[in-house]
Amino acid sequence: MENISLFIKAFGNYLSLEKGLSKNTVSSYISDINFFVEYLNKKKLDDFGTLTRDDLLGYLENCSDNQMEPTSIARKLVSIKVFFRYLLSEKIIKTDITDVMNSPKLWRVLPDFLTIEEIDKMLDVFAPNSKDPLIIRNRAIIELIYSCGLRVSELVNIQIHDLKFDDAIIKVTGKGNKERIVPVGAKAEKILTKYIQVSRPELLKNNPTQSKIFVSHNGRILTRAMIWNIVKEAARLAGIKKNIYPHTLRHSFASHLLQNGADLRVIQEMLGHADISTTQIYTHVDQNRLKNIIKTFHPRA
């Protein structure tokens, strides 16, 4: 695959310039394709035009064998499908081997989520009366992700003017630059107010013009990797053995709303899902509640 780097670079330009995808989305696609190419190199498969569906299935099985999450495997397949469609349009390949391949339904597995008790344990890691600005910030981060069901990319881009404390809401910019308004829970609002009034000014001593809400110890914008580390460390200190990452808090937000009777359409709106089918995955977490309803109300139960 002598020209592979050129193909991938051209693919990135196509996604960015012709499809208008965001920098982060393009980066995700390119990362997935590079990962795929690494596998092909190891297998000495050096021509996209001669690849078979069995070769691609072998790659997907390899991902599974390496304990990759089903949703991640499904996403990688989507990236490959888009890439092969591009190669076909550019006449780099004659046949698109991915054109009839769909993600198996079994890949739409239930996402990991935390119990309410586990959420409390994670928050208890940060002493509520602490005066340490970083501890206050970290608690505010976890409270806000869980309270509002935010994606990490949404969290890091929230600015001061996006907060409307008088109405207890926050403006969030999600995928495709789509804005939505999300209510902020009372506990999240309380710790966020403390962070903004007490901790944030201290962190911004060397960078007072920063408009993003969450900043590092030297006033710079927090990266997604930093947020990931904060959540991971909180879970570790709380003694939680599950594989926790920031999106787990978003999953927990949706799952707990559903468990307590929230309408699926409302959850869809708050999560910023374009399609209700994406939100419906959370209905599987609620089987116990549904069983209890049947036992209580059905005459044959």
**pLDDT per position as a tens digit, 188-206:** 999 999 999 999 999 999 8
- Judge whether 247 counts as a catalytic residue: yes
Q: Determine if the pTM surpasses 0.85.
A: no
Confidence of residue 225 (pLDDT cuts 50, 70, 90): confident
Q: Encoding tokens for residue 64? A: 């599974």
- Judge whether 175 counts as a catalytic residue: yes
301 has pLDDT over 70: no
DSSP 111: P
Active-site residue, from 175, 220, 224, 232: 175
**pLDDT per position as a tens digit, 125-145:** 998 889 999 999 999 999 999
Question: For the domain 4-103, what is the CATH code?
Answer: 1.10.150.130
249 burial level (CB within 10 Å; 0-12, 13-18, 19+): buried
Q: Given this model, what pLDDT does residue 156 score?
A: 92
Q: Are 79 and 28 in contact (CB under 8 A)?
A: yes
**pLDDT per position as a tens digit, 206-220:** 899 999 999 999 999
- Judge whether 251 counts as a catalytic residue: no
- Judge whether 298 counts as a catalytic residue: no
- Judge whether 190 counts as a catalytic residue: no
Cα–Cα distance measured from residue 285 to residue 254, given in angstroms and rounded to the nearest whole number: 10
- CA 179-183-185 angle, to 5 degrees, is 145
Domain boundaries, the chain: 4-103, 116-291
Active-site residue, from 200, 250, 251, 256: 250
Fold observed for domain 116-291: hpI Integrase; Chain A (1.10.443)
- Judge whether 161 counts as a catalytic residue: no
Active-site residue, from 139, 151, 200, 256: 151
**pLDDT per position as a tens digit, 273-284:** 887 877 877 776
